[in-house]
Structure 1
Amino acid sequence: MTFDEIRNLQIDDILRWPLKTQMIAIAVMMVILGIIVWFECISPENDQYDALHTQEESLKIQIRQKQLLAASLPAYQAQIQEMNVRFQKFLEQLPNRTQIPSLLDDVTLAGRSRGLDFELFQPMAEINKHFYAEIPVKLKVVGTYNDIGRFAAAVAAMPRIVTISGIDVSRVPDSANTPAAKALAAQQLVMQCTATTYRYLDSADKTGQAQDGSKP
């Protein structure tokens, strides 16, 4: 059967076909119709279903993650509260502006009470950080190895935070004339270092910094 014959085919012609031929023709038409319906209607719906199914799985994963976060929230809150308590205790170890002179006196007393002689005690300018200020003091002390060690231990044990850095230890120059003086000088050491304490910057200090920064 040519294409022209198919194009000019009439219903009456089909009805005159043998039953087997009619069944084959109906089957072919059903297949063609099914293919058309699949590509035009069912396939787009399947694609949309797959997209919605993928979105559903993604949302389920997000829900499970948020459920885990919600279950862990009390533990996180407890950790934050503990960190805040520790931070407040840390701030309590920082002296305020009025306590700095007495703290520096305590550092001097800790050295002298352990046999050290202070040749230099020079407070330097404050170094402002984010929420605190460093207050360095240059020190030069003379004493025995044990005296210097006991002084460092005493400074570390102070209730206020004081750190010692830039330590340089050397022997005292030998200028003695007598054997006893030479023996004593041999035991003496010179330690140069920087003792640094820290001060918490209150709102007034931060306001002053902001005003200084705004000046041309």
Structure 2
Amino acid sequence: MSLNAEMRRLGELDWRELDVKEAGGWPWSLQLLLCLLVLGVMFFVMHGYLAGSAKERLHRARAEEARLIRDYRSKVAQAASLEALREQVSRLDTRMEALRGMLPTGAEVPSLLDSISEAAIDHRLAIVLLRLRDPVETDPYIERPFDIRVRGDYHRIGAFLADVANMPRIVTLHDLTLGPEEGGQRLRLSMQAKTYGYRGQDGGEP
């Protein structure tokens, strides 16, 4: 049968009268088209099923690749600065040891108070009170507060404060009150000073 005749037969076909049960008697061109259609549908279905999971795996692999690249670059940057970080840590350790050396032990606190008393006498101040309070434990230091009250003129008190702040051992000044004494030209200074001890410095005892 010629192609023209088959195409004419296909054009004259009443599509409403087609019955799947009689598909064997359909024109061969229609059967071919239906086979191609079924194959196309099967191809797209299989492609979507197989390629979909592959695309998902590819997406996850690309995301993992990007993460690994970021991690690699971060570690390369850390490795490049490792030596500088080690030097910085070494300097900080040295500085920390120096600062710890400026913290008096419990046995050295009385001599620190003696030094403060001597500074007051050197500046011709009258010592009203110099009293050590109970230590306060914090982590990792121990605060050792003490009260100071002295009398004298303004400039001598200022020089005394400068000497206390510049002691070889760390001393911080708190709650300063400066006012005139009753019936006189002298001033009275009241304050709390604190020195500190490292908990492991003398067996952890205050």
**TM-score class normalised by the smaller sequence:** 0.7 to 0.9
The alignment yields a C-alpha RMSD, in angstroms, of 2.4
Q: Which residue of 2 aligns with 1:28?
A: 37
TM-score by length of 2: 0.82
Q: Does 2:97 match 1:83?
A: no
Segments of 5+ residues of structure 2 without an aligned counterpart are 1-14
Matches within 5 A, 1:169-180: 169-174=178-183
Task: Give the 3-state SS of the residue equivalent to 1:9 in structure 2.
Answer: helix
Per the alignment, residue 108 of structure 1 pairs with: 117
Using structure 1 for the length normalisation, give the TM-score: 0.79
Return the alpha-carbon distance in structure 2 between the equivalents of residues 112 and 37 of structure 1.
100
Q: 1:9 aligns with which of 20, 23, 30?
A: 23
1:155-210 per-position Cα deviation (integer Å, ceiling 9, x unaligned)? 12211111221111111111xxxxxxxxxx32x1011111221122227643x69x
Aligned residues: 192
Amino acid at match of 1:143: G
1:67 pairs with 2:76: yes
Q: Does 1:156 align with 2:165?
A: yes
Query: Tell me, what secondary structure is at the counterpart of 2:23?
Result: coil
Give the Å deviation of 1:46: 1.8
Deviation at 1:25, TM superposition (A): 3.8
Distance in structure 1 (CA, Å) of the matches to 2:148 and 2:17: 110
Structure with bigger gyration radius? 2
How far does residue 7 in structure 1 lie from its aligned partner after superposition?
Answer: 4.4
Moved more, 110-119 or 154-163: 154-163
- How far off is 1:4 after superposition? 7.0
- Identity within the alignment, %: 24
Runs of 5+ in structure 1 lacking a partner? 175-184, 210-216
1:72 & 1:166 partners in 2: Cα distance?
A: 45
